[in-house]
A and B are shown apart, each in its own frame.
Chain A
């Protein structure tokens, strides 16, 4: 399953980002090209086809996770890239930055059990017509780890603007209350906005489950989907 098409992913680094190297590694291990994008950059390089906002603690998560990062200079370029139809994926802290910046609806609040949760969970894709899920076999739950304390998704007043992309489920794909690790509304683990499928956010870390040596390579499906979408 080595990369057939040489897609280039851009991995954004804010002060406090800490999943940038994992993401870069996963992208390269899957056979694609990766390059880092620094938070003060004024533009997205021409060759970048998908921008990833990786996990971490940008700006120390001060005030609210993602609240300060949304004002970083590169976010203007990311917004413009998204407006032109460019693919943008926010993972964990990246998802928090996307909802704070208004590129995605809703908000991510403190987990209902008030704890940092770091464990493998199962998530079920809810739609297969997006750049991030189009290659995933239907009906198959993905085993991917989460690692967050602020991951409880709420629609706020924006339910009609939200489409579930992934929901927490059990190993058989049943979306139940018991399978919901953090109290997210409707078990939401990842979303897209209707009419704007090129921007997605997810709390689970696909880059930490992209090689079998890490215990699961289900996360690779997200990167494979991007490849299929762009082919």
Chain B
């Protein structure tokens, strides 16, 4: 058994209005930051998991995302495993 550090990044799906991201973008522009666009806000869920290998972790975390961590109707997820 090995311990793996996992980060799940959940983002609002492209094309869906993200009012939080928009508000942050406006604030950044007011602060004088130039050239920025498409600010979007999601969430990060970190966890540790014991498993035999990386692919078992990946399978389990994908299952977690489908069942609970991400809303399949409005969100996309990305998984990072260390």
Contact = CB atoms under 8 A, between A and B. Distances in A.
A112 interface: yes
Contact of B74 (A71, A111, A154): A154
B23 A158 contact: no
A109 B74 contact: yes
Contact of B19 (A67, A99, A110): A110
A156 B74 contact: yes
A114 B23 CA distance: 9
A100 B17 contact: no
A105 B23 CA distance: 28
A107 interface: yes
Contacts of B20: 110, 114
A183 interface: yes
Q: Chain A, interface size: which category?
A: 20 to 34
Contacts of A156: 13, 73-74
B68 interface: yes
A131 interface: no
Contacts, number: 37
A231 interface: no
A71 B74 CA distance: 19
Nearest to A112: B19
Contacts of A39: none
B23 A109 contact: no
Interface string A84-108: 0000000000000001100001110
Contacts of B71: 64, 67, 100, 107
Interface string B6-48: 0000001100110110010000000000000000000000000
Contact of B68 (A63, A106, A113): A63
B69 interface: yes
Instruction: Output the residue of B12, B19, B20 with the most chain A CB within 10 A.
Output: B19
Contacts of A158: 73
Interface of A: 63-64, 67-68, 71, 99-100, 105-107, 109-114, 154, 156-158, 183
Given A107-B73, A109-B74, 5 more contacts: A105-B73, A106-B73, A109-B12, A109-B17, A154-B16
Counting from the closest, the 3 A-B pairs by CB-CB distance are A156-B73, A107-B73, A107-B74
27 contacts: A63-B69, A64-B71, A67-B68, A67-B71, A68-B68, A71-B68, A99-B73, A105-B73, A106-B73, A107-B73, A109-B12, A109-B74, A110-B19, A110-B20, A111-B19, A112-B17, A112-B19, A114-B19, A114-B20, A154-B73, A156-B13, A156-B73, A156-B74, A157-B73, A158-B73, A183-B17, A183-B19
